[in-house]
Each structure stands twice: as C-alpha cells, then as structure tokens.
Amino acid sequence: MSIELLLALITGAALLGVGIYGALSQTNLVMIMMGVELILAGAMVNLVAFWRYLHPDNPAGQMFVLIIMTVMAIEMAVGFGVAIARFRAKGSVEMEEATELKG
C-alpha cells in the first residue's frame, strides 16, 4: 500500500467520523445536513484515491464521484425545501421541536 493512498483513506475516515458526530449531535436541520455533506465528502475522497492508486484506467471511479456530487446537490435542494416549509409552518428548524409524528 502506498503512503498517499493511506493518507487519503485516513482523511476519508476522519471526515466520516466528524460528519457522524455532526449529524448526530446537532439539533438544527441545516447543521445536520452539513454533517451529511461531510460524510459524503469522505466517501468521495476514498473513491478518488481508489481510482488514482488502484484502477486509474477505469473511469468508473470518477463516474461514481459524479454520482455522489449529484446526490449531494439533490440532498441540499430537497433538504432546504423541507426547511423552508418547516420554518413557515412552525417558525423554526430545530429537530427537537419536530415531535408531531411521535407515537
């Protein structure tokens, strides 16, 4: 294994850890989405590293990164639409206050 590949994988792991911490600890919808963005970024770093150091002749690795970028954009668009609707209905986007569906 090359040092560069290991550095990239450790970076991806760190972004995963920070993203999971953020997504679980934050109460605000926008901040939770930031955590999810970091998790997806960690996945992208791993994919680019695998493409570059293991299979540089196979463009599928880069294509997968484009798919993840698409997912990030879709997640932000729908998430902010939901945030706007929630803010208009209840006046805040705090997830601890969103208990209407609680059994």
Partner 1 sequence: MTAQMFFIGFFGLAGVWFGIVVFRTYSMVRSALALLFSQTALGAMFLSMQAEFLGVLQIMMMATEMSIMAIFMVMFMMDPGGLGTMDMTHQKRLSLIAGFVSFVAAVLVALFVDWGPIAATFPDAAQQTVDLGLELLNRSMLIFEMAGITILTAMIAATAVAIKPIERITNKSKGH
Please give the Cα distance from 19 to 87 (Å, whole number). 24
Q: Which is nearer to partner 1, 3 or 103 (CB)?
A: 3
64-103: contacts with partner 1 (CB under 8 A):
65-67, 69-70, 72-74, 76-78, 80-85, 87-88, 92-94, 96
Q: Are 39 and 15 in contact (CB under 8 A)?
A: yes
Tokens of 33: 């989405």
Q: Are 35 and 76 in contact (CB under 8 A)?
A: no
11-70: contacts with partner 1 (CB under 8 A):
11-22, 24-31, 33-35, 37-38, 41, 44-45, 48-57, 59-60, 62-63, 65-67, 69-70
Tokens of 50: 């695998």
Identify the residue among 8, 100, 101, 102 touching partner 1 (CB under 8 A): 8
